[in-house]
């Protein structure tokens, strides 16, 4: 490799925004779904055939670049470009390529493909780094098919035993995670948790909320991730005739599900500030117009940047569920699907992202992440930070999710320059 010895040379390098955009479009064609106004979204739930196709495409690109590709026992894929120092730990970037069932083309995919673009830029310009540079995509970040979310990165850092993860049952079908991994050919030979932690991890992601767009800011400097609490409530009552059963005799799980939904909305007002609450799934059986439901299964997603307040919200929910169960004579089984405390990223790496974005001439704003990310797991084992780009209309987990090509390129350039500094340009 021709080493770039002039400090300013590497500072002037930029990604090829068009090449990155074309890859986002190409990956988005796998599992593509169209919206009513021609929007193009994506349905690649974790470990489905569509996920396999997406994985095959991206690992193919990784191999085309001559990278060393490893697949671990939970299906995480890491592609590495060597550095000049054989003993140095790699600087890692990455994200996920699974989507929710009604997802967009950018959530997760941007971070993986921008990482690939950074590496292709280094290859094309013959820039050597002292440390290896890796780009990863982690299994089942969304948690939409197999809870919890950030599963692959959680196992990668040793936060959940591999065997426990492989045994997780799907929320909506009768698949087992480990079987699906084998079925799609991504139960890899490499150990998980990983043998060694990266030197640092920096992830580029779309904001998925309205703040950057509202304020006209190009680069979000992410200081941390809010706490996440997912609970599944299985409510059992008594199925009965809708016309003949007096209200006093009803044991109606549908009513209780609705009351919980209303309650958590009220809770967000009561805990005014950062508290958010969502009932995203309501599954009522038998789901018929003239039958009082026999069961209702719902999920409650509570999040807060403040752990103490999140605990208050969880306790309030528990108390209200118990009160409703008694009042309506239904039984409720509660199961935690995910629980992650708020995470603070490494202040030095956060400051590096901020300074780098500003040096490149972009407006910046510090903010917490409202969504969960693989970065919050990597933060357990190495200095970690994230870069956000704006989301049009603040939309995500929606097929209309969009980020402009200019913002995609800006984010990838901040990623490139940040990784170059962390990986030490060789001289």
Q: How far is Cα 221 from Cα 76, in angstroms, rounded to an integer? A: 26
Enumerate residues 197-236 that contact ligand GLV by CB under 6 A: none
**Which residue among 142, 207, 223, 314 contacts ligand GLV (CB under 6 A)?**
142
Q: Which stretch binds ligand GLV (CB under 6 A): 137-145, 179-187, 287-295, 378-386?
A: 137-145
Nearer residue to Mn ion within complex by CB, 83 or 108 = 108
In degrees, to the nearest 5, what angle opens at C-alpha 363 toward C-alphas 150 and 382?
35
* Other C-beta atoms lying within 10 Å of the C-beta of residue 194: 19
Measured from the CB atom, the residue of 113 and 317 that comes closer to Mn ion is 113
83 vs 372, beta carbon nearer ligand GLV: 372
CB atoms within 10 A of CB 267: 17
Asked if residue 57 has a cis previous peptide bond (ω within 30° of 0), the answer is: no
Find the shortest distance in angstroms from Cβ 164 to ligand GLV. Answer: 20
Q: How far is the CB of 106 from Mn ion (least distance, A)?
A: 9
Does residue 149 bind ligand GLV (CB under 6 A)?
yes
Centre a 10 Å sphere on the Cβ of residue 300 and count the other Cβ atoms it contains. Answer: 24
In angstroms, give the least distance from the CB of 129 to Mn ion.
27
Write out the binding residues for ligand GLV, residues 363-422 only, by CB under 6 A: 371-372
Distance between the two ends of the chain, CA-based, in angstroms?
11
Q: How many residues bind ligand GLV (CB under 6 A)?
A: 6
Contact between 203 and Mn ion by CB under 5 A: the answer reads no
- Judge whether 105 and 42 are in contact, CB under 8 Å: yes
Bridging pattern class, strands 91-95 and 133-137:
parallel
- The nearer residue to ligand GLV, 120 or 301, going by C-beta atoms, is 301
Give the residue among 385, 393, 283 at the shortest CA–CA distance from 344: 385
- In sequence order, which residues have a C-beta less than 8 Å from that of residue 372 and are 6 or more positions away? 141, 143, 149, 150, 225, 228, 340
According to DSSP, residue 371 is labeled S
Residue 354 binding: pick among Mn ion, ligand GLV, none (C-beta 5-8 Å cut-off by kind): none
Site for Mn ion in 108-127 (CB under 5 A): 108
Q: For 113, what's the count of Cα atoms within 13 Å in the CB-facing half-sphere?
A: 27
Shortest distance, position 301 Cβ to ligand GLV, whole Å:
7
Comparison of 142 and 223: residue with beta carbon closer to ligand GLV: 142
Closest CA to 14 of 310, 401, 420, 345: 420
Q: How are beta strands 133-137 and 295-304 bridged, if at all? A: unpaired
Cβ nearer to ligand GLV, comparing 212 with 324: 212
141 binds ligand GLV (CB under 6 A): yes
Instruction: Check residue 107 for interaction with Mn ion (CB under 5 A).
Output: yes
Give residue for tokens 């962390």: 422
CB of 397 to ligand GLV, least distance (A): 7
Q: In whole angstroms, how close is the CB of 270 to Mn ion at the nearest point?
A: 28
Chain residues in the site for Mn ion (CB under 5 A): 107-108
Chain residues in the site for ligand GLV (CB under 6 A): 141-143, 149, 371-372
């Amino acid at each position: 490799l021709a080493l770039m010895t002039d400090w300013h040379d590497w500072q002037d390098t930029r990604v090829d925004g068009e090449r990155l955009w074309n890859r986002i479009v190409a990956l988005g064609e796998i599992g593509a779904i169209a919206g009513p106004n021609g929007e193009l979204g994506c349905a690649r739930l974790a470990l489905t055939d569509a996920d396999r196709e997406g994985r095959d495409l991206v690992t193919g690109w990784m191999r085309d670049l001559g990278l060393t590709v490893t697949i671990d026992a939970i299906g995480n894929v890491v592609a590495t470009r060597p550095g000049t120092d054989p003993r140095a730990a790699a600087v890692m970037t990455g994200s996920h390529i699974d989507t929710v069932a009604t997802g967009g083309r950018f959530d997760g995919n941007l971070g993986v493909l921008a990482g690939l673009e950074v590496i292709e830029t280094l290859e094309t310009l013959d820039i050597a780094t002292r440390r290896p540079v890796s780009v990863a995509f982690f299994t089942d970040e969304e948690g939409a098919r197999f809870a919890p979310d950030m599963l692959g990165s959680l196992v990668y850092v040793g936060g959940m035993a591999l065997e426990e993860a492989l045994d997780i049952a799907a929320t909506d079908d009768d698949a087992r995670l480990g079987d699906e991994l084998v079925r799609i050919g991504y139960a890899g030979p490499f150990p998980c948790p990983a043998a060694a932690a990266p030197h640092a991890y920096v992830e580029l992601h779309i904001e998925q909320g309205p703040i950057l767009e509202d304020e006209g800011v190009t680069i979000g400097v992410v200081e941390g991730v809010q706490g996440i609490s997912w609970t599944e409530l299985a409510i059992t009552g008594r199925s009965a005739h809708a016309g003949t059963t007096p209200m006093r005799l009803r044991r109606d799980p549908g009513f209780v599900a609705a009351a919980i939904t209303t309650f958590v909305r009220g809770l967000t007002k009561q805990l005014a500030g950062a508290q958010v609450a969502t009932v995203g799934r309501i599954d009522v059986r038998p789901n018929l117009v003239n039958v009082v439901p026999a069961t209702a299964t719902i999920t409650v997603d509570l999040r807060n940047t403040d752990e103490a307040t999140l605990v208050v919200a969880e306790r309030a929910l528990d108390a209200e569920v118990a009160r409703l169960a008694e009042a309506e004579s239904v039984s409720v089984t509660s199961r935690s699907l995910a629980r992650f405390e708020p995470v603070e990223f490494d202040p030095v790496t956060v400051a590096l992202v901020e300074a780098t974005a500003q040096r490149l001439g972009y407006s910046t704003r510090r903010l917490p992440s409202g969504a969960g990310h693989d970065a919050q797991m990597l933060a357990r084992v190495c200095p970690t930070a994230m870069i956000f780009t704006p989301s049009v209309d603040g939309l995500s987990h929606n097929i209309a999710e969009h980020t402009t090509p200019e913002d995609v390129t800006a984010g990838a350039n901040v990623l490139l320059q940040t990784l170059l500094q962390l990986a030490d340009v060789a001289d």
